[in-house]
A and B are shown apart, each in its own frame.
Chain A
Amino acid sequence: MISFRRILIQNFKRYRRVEIRPEEDRGLFVFIGKNYLGKSTFLNALCWCLYDDQPFRESIEKNISHEHSLLNEDAKRENQFDEVRVELEIQDEEKIYLFVRTWRPSQQSHFQVMLKRGKDWAPLLNPTVIVDSLLPRDLREYFIFAGEDAESMFSPGYEKKLKSGVWKVSNIEVLDRLIDHIDIIYTEVQRQLARKSAGDSTQQAVEKKTELEKEKAEKSSRLGNIREEISKFTETRGEYMEKIKQSAAYSEKIKRREILERRRGEIDKNLEKFHQDTNNLITEKAPFLYLEPILKAIRDRLKTDEEAGSIPPSIRTEFIGELLKGKKCICGRALGHDDGSEDALRKLLERIEPADRRAPLLEDRYPIQEFLRQIPEIDSNLQELQSSRATLLHEEENLERELKNISEELAGAPEAEISGLEDGIRRIENTLDNDRRDEALIVHRLHQIEEEVQEIDAQIRKDATEQGALGALKKRLEVLEAAKDSASFVRERITDRVRRVLSKSTEDYFRELFWEQEEYESIEFTADYKLNVKKRGFSEPSTEFSSGEKKVLGIAALRAIADLSGFSGVPIFFDAPLTKLGPEIEENILKMLPRLAPNKQVFIFNLDVEKIIDFSKTLGKGRVYELRKDVKSKNSTIIIPIHA
């Protein structure tokens, strides 16, 4: 059983300094106070110390800003960096622990747990572990709660939350995790088993080996054929080469013949060119050559006629034409009809104009002269062409003669065969290249097949040796299967048992606490944690409850869950149990409170209503405290014991 021996709250919000020392390790302790005096703050101080949080909603007093600052306002006025401190001295059986949390503005809070050894306190290394061992944070809501929490225990959608809470406190969650873990191992073993499935693996290996051996046979056969072909072609190539060697004596002559034939081709081409040049020259110049006497005669005649004046220069008619146009004589005198000078000039023009018209013909003398001058050149060109052609023809003649001789000499040579042999050798070498490439590929593949077959054999042998390991895996799988089944079975059993225990405890607590318990036939939780309350005289379960019923059902369930958690010895802190209740129910609740948890400390915080004051009077000395404003500092609360 756990009990609070001392609670010190210093500079925490409303509390400048309060220290409570419950004298008994069990029973009811009541704290009474008006609004805003820090009842919920007291609980937040406990939670802050143990868990570093403040889950309770605090009433806010105007002009006081404690909710914004942890440090007490009055303390702050004196020293804005003063320390906030909450100390809880808790006894767990024989051990006494001191939980201390401190904080200063602008610093992290510091938490420490010490164990009392004789008169000294020995600090412990893992304070949060100690807290978890006494009251884990997850379970806090079942020990430190408000009247509203109890009442809202069965608000809509409560089943899921309730189930989750119950599973958590009863370690069903742990079982779930265990089952999940077994599942994971089971799946892994199954996977290993599948992978090592000797039957399938060996069968596949044998099938693969059969395929490979078939391929090996095909490739080997192909390799044999290729090698035979290589051998045959190599032999043929040898024969061909021998023949070529025998024919080598003729090769020089064949080469010479090739050179001569090439030269003959060149000569033919040049002859063709000379022929063409000659033809061009003839076609272009021959007309003039044929007409050479005529052209010469015309040239001579033109010359004679020009000298005789029968073909005068055309300037003459042009000059007379100009004089007539200007109506002036060469001497500058004006021409006139009267003296017959114009007529005379006109007659002269008419007479000489036909002759003068021939003047352009005189120009023809120059091309004729030029052509005549070219005749030796044409002759030279033609002779040169003919000479070159003759040279070529001569060379061709010699060449033909030599060719004829060579052809006669080569008459007995197997020249056609040689060229055929050379082509044949080239073809054979191509084929041999391809064959050798194929041979290399097949040899490589056969090597691969050999290696693969060896690997498969090794695999088959390994499979055989793994049969034993496989048996072990199968055994392990069986064990895991059994473990999983057992765990699931246990889980089902525990789940059902927990539900039934919870139902029974809740019903028992409810009957113990509620004032009209005889009206209730049964209270239980269904498999999905739905509250099933049957009242006497009703065939259907009740679905609506009064606020008193809800509050007591909530308290009963909280108590039942707390019992399930295994932390049933932890004190209860119950804030505002009478809130929002009618007078009759208030009274009944008050009557219920002493029965709430008679074997451990129960701390009640409530408004200073008359009923609770009266109720407090029934409690013994040191069990009632009053929260009051500090007369010295109005922003702080003091707690003073009320002696009944």
Chain B
Amino acid sequence: MPNIDQDYPQFLRADREIKEKYLDQLVDPDGGTCFAGQERGEVYLLAAAIACSLGQRLPSRRNMIDVRTYAKLSPSYKVLIRAMALEAYRNGSEYDYDVVFDGKKVLSVVEEYANAGIKILHQKVFEGGLDLSIEGEIAVLLKSLSGEQLATQ
């Protein structure tokens, strides 16, 4: 069976400015945010997921910086990343399955989602641009997935 990951780049990356200006502040152990002291790569993927759910992508403008080693991600996160790539290249109800075999393309999509998501997350946490706190938002998300609904899945 062919290996999906075999041609994937080594690192998940982000726009250097976004990483240094927003992500580092979010995970700063003394920053007082809910992400203080958290793993930078995990927050990066959360941000990408948020942006993906909102359909927002932001290509890196200047130079990029490595955030996390791809190979060290858990299988679940890898599935998540492929899902984001499939979603990005979805045409109506059709998925372009071949995109997941192009690692460069997959991580590039995730990077664009992450750039956008980090800024959203930063805004949520520091500027209150969104009324809901990240915790409240998750609770709402969970509530929207009712027990019955889940049982049928």
Contact = CB atoms under 8 A, between A and B. Distances in A.
Given A291-B49, A360-B1, A375 B145 contact: yes
Interface in B1-42: 1-4, 34-35, 38-39, 42
Nearest to B149: A375
A537 interface: no
A397 interface: no
A350 to B, nearest CB: 16
Interface stretch (A153-161, A275-283, A410-418): A275-283
Given A278-B135, A372-B153, A298 B86 contact: yes
B49 A361 contact: no
Give the most central of B34, B75, B79, B98: most A CB within 10 Å: B79
Contacts of A379: 142-143, 145
Given A288-B49, A295-B83, A376-B150, A357 B38 contact: no
A360 B97 CA distance: 11
Given A278-B135, A301-B95, A359-B1, A284 B42 contact: yes
Contacts of B79: 295, 364, 367-368
B53 interface: yes
Contacts of A285: 138
A285 to B, nearest CB: 8
Given A282-B134, A359-B1, A382 B139 contact: yes
Contacts of B82: 361, 364
Contact of A283 (B35, B76, B87): B35
B48 A275 contact: no
A360 B4 contact: yes
Contact of B53 (A279, A291, A368): A291
Nearest to A371: B76
A283 B39 contact: yes
Nearest to A275: B34
B80 interface: yes
A148 interface: no
A196 interface: no
B96 to A, nearest CB: 10
A357 B46 contact: no
A294 B87 contact: yes
A308 to B, nearest CB: 13
Contacts, number: 118
B147 to A, nearest CB: 6
B142 A291 contact: no
A294 B80 CA distance: 10
Interface of B is mostly: helix
Interface string B84-105: 1011000001010110110000
A314 interface: yes
Nearest to A287: B49
Contacts of A284: 42
Nearest to B52: A291
A290 interface: yes
B50 interface: yes
B43 interface: yes
Contacts of A279: 34-35, 38
A288 B80 contact: yes
A190 interface: no
Contacts of B109: none
B46 A287 contact: yes
B53 A283 contact: no
Contacts of A131: none
Contact of A287 (B48, B95, B101, B139): B48
Contact of A292 (B3, B75, B97, B141): B141
Contacts of A382: 138-139, 142
Give the most central of A275, A296, A361: most B CB within 10 Å: A361
A70 interface: no
Given A275-B34, A357-B101, A375-B142, A287 B135 contact: no
A286 interface: yes
B45 interface: yes
A530 interface: no
A367 B98 CA distance: 20
23 contacts: A282-B46, A282-B138, A283-B38, A286-B46, A286-B141, A290-B46, A290-B52, A290-B53, A291-B84, A293-B53, A294-B52, A294-B87, A295-B83, A358-B97, A359-B1, A364-B82, A368-B79, A368-B83, A375-B145, A376-B147, A378-B142, A379-B145, A382-B142
Interface of A: 275, 278-280, 282-296, 298, 301, 305, 311, 314, 354, 357-361, 364, 367-373, 375-376, 378-379, 382, 386
Interface of B: 1-4, 34-35, 38-39, 42-43, 45-46, 48-50, 52-53, 75-77, 79-80, 82-84, 86-87, 93, 95, 97-98, 100-101, 134-135, 138-139, 141-143, 145, 147, 150, 153
Given A279-B38, A288-B49, 9 more contacts: A275-B34, A279-B35, A288-B80, A290-B53, A294-B87, A372-B153, A375-B145, A378-B142, A379-B145
